[in-house]
């Protein structure tokens, strides 16, 4: 299932995480299904667990449902990841699709930079013993690099078989085909905020700073999530970045054309150069985005407003503060029918929507959260709960953490790092900042 918010790769929203239990956890943290009760061997399919991590200019290598295919360039590197729960010896076998023609390939296999060279001959069958490797606990990276070949490609690699005493306490990898796409994207993670007031809230303010080097293509940093939508920014390509604001229709469907007229999201107004329309495939509703070249290492501000219109509808408006021009920019204002409420359900999240970059790490600092009550009082938000998606819960991948640091709260995912934070952990950050100084009358 490919998620696309603007008919382009985009973010998977927190709302879908809450309601879309398309699969459930099938294994414990300490184990994955074995071949048999008496067999300590695990089959790690490349589809779901591998990435082309070094890509040559003429590269054709692809991770597909058949594993690694079109492996033609000796300059490319293919990396497969599996988490080991016990230090020890890892026994490794490479499993290929049997070639139609007789071919011979020499390849290099590296496990955490320890290398072995093996020769693959098609007439020897599909299973090729690589050898033994000493490994520590945590994620292990298995690299493949082609050296020489007599055929058009080095091989089609389906999977690795791993065994040895390093697997005796179980391993973690993506073993469920329903999760392969999501596992390659990596687990999404979230911060759910506790609001320090029972008054109605009409403004929600927060800031995000993405550290330099933590913004690979496919990253979506969602700042101001609320019960009816989301607001944040993302990296779409090498040359394009976007500020996004969307509101779901109250009519539940993935097809925007199925929404009855009286439940469609209505555009009130939009900012200069902002694109607006509808979205589907993950719920449906009104969408807006501004192409804006935001930069890692810079602090950005987000402001969201909700106000019932008195006729059974609520207006949601989003502004983005651009420090490069020192002014607030209107993204859009939408009217949501069959809604009579102020802001609720405050959260942020971090995700990757480009599966080929799922091996790269991304992180962001989520800072200085405030809410403003309808009576005009600013309230600082100082408590957040760290939560994860179904990919993590099903133990297909667990490289996602969240918590607090010197700046406020943070989230990190991707990269197959080994640090763990228990999901549903709560964190308190003592925010010493003054409330936001905003002249609401001068907002565009």
For the stretch 384-393, pLDDT in tens is 999 999 999 9
Distance CA 113, CA 179 (A): 28
Q: Are 70 and 61 in contact (CB under 8 A)?
A: yes
Domains and CATH numbers, the chain: 14-21+186-442 (2.60.120.200), 42-175 (2.60.120.260)
pLDDT of residue 37: 42
- As a whole number, mean pLDDT of residues 264-293 equals 87
pTM of the predicted model as reported, rounded to 2 decimal places = 0.90
What is the rounded average pLDDT for all residues in the chain? 90
Distance CA 167, CA 169 (A): 5
Q: Is residue 250 predicted with pLDDT exceeding 70?
A: yes
- As a whole number, mean pLDDT of residues 140-145 equals 98
User: pLDDT category, 315, cuts 50, 70, 90?
Assistant: very high
Distance CA 305, CA 333 (A): 9
User: pLDDT category, 124, cuts 50, 70, 90?
Assistant: confident
pLDDT of residue 1: 30
First to last CA, the chain: 38
Whole-number Cα distances in Å, 53 to 46, 75, 76, 290, 362? 13, 11, 8, 31, 16
Please state the φ and ψ torsions of residue 262, each to the nearest 5 degrees: -80, 0
Distance CA 411, CA 386 (A): 8
pLDDT of residue 278: 67
- Using a 10 angstrom Cβ sphere, with 0-12 exposed, 13-18 middle and 19 or more buried, the burial of residue 305 is buried
pLDDT, tens only, 35-60: 444 458 999 999 999 999 998 887 79
Decide the pairing of beta strands 299-308 and 229-235.
unpaired
- As a whole number, mean pLDDT of residues 395-409 equals 97
- DSSP assignment letter at 26: -
Q: Are 189 and 401 in contact (CB under 8 A)?
A: yes
pLDDT of residue 102: 81
pLDDT of residue 404: 97
Largest CA distance in the chain: 79
User: pLDDT category, 19, cuts 50, 70, 90?
Assistant: very low
């Amino acid at each position: 299932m490919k998620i696309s918010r603007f008919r382009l790769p985009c973010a998977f929203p927190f709302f879908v995480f809450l309601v879309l239990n398309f699969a459930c956890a099938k294994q414990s943290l300490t184990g994955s299904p074995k071949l048999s009760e008496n067999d300590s061997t695990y089959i790690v399919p490349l589809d779901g667990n591998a990435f082309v991590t070094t890509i040559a200019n003429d590269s054709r290598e692809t991770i597909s449902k058949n594993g690694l295919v079109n492996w033609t360039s000796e300059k490319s590197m293919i990396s497969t990841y599996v988490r080991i729960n016990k230090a020890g010896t890892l026994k490794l076998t490479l499993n290929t699709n049997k070639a139609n023609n007789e071919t011979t390939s020499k390849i290099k296999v590296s496990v955490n930079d320890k290398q072995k060279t093996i020769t693959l001959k098609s007439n020897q069958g599909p299973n090729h013993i690589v050898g033994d490797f000493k490994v520590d606990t945590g994620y292990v990276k298995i690299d493949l690099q082609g050296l020489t070949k007599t055929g058009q490609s080095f091989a089609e690699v389906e999977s690795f078989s791993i065994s040895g005493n390093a697997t005796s306490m179980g391993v973690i990898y993506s073993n469920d085909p329903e999760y392969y796409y999501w596992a390659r994207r990596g687990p999404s993670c979230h911060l759910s905020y506790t609001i320090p007031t029972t008054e109605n809230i009409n403004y929600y303010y927060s800031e995000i700073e993405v550290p330099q080097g933590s913004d690979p293509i496919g990253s979506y940093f969602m700042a101001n999530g609320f019960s009816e939508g989301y607001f944040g920014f993302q990296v779409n390509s090498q040359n394009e970045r976007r500020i996004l604001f969307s509101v779901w229709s109250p009519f539940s469907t993935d097809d925007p054309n199925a929404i009855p007229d009286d439940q469609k999201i209505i555009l009130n107004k939009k900012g200069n150069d902002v694109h607006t329309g509808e979205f589907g495939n993950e719920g449906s509703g009104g969408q807006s985005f501004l192409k804006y070249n935001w930069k890692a290492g810079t602090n950005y501000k987000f402001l969201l407003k909700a106000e019932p219109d008195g006729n059974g509808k609520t207006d949601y408006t989003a502004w983005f503060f651009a420090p490069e021009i020192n002014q607030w920019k209107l993204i859009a204002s939408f009217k949501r029918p069959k809604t009579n409420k102020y802001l609720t359900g405050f959260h942020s999240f971090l995700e990757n929507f480009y599966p080929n970059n799922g091996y790269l790490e991304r992180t962001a600092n989520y800072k200085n959260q405030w809410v403003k009550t309808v009576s005009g009082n600013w309230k600082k938000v100082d408590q957040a709960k760290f939560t994860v998606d179904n990919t993590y819960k099903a133990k297909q991948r667990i490289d996602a953490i969240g918590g607090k640091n010197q700046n406020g709260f943070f989230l990190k995912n991707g990269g197959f790092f080994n640090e763990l934070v228990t999901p549903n952990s709560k964190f308190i950050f003592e925010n010493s900042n003054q409330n936001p100084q905003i002249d609401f009358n001068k907002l565009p």
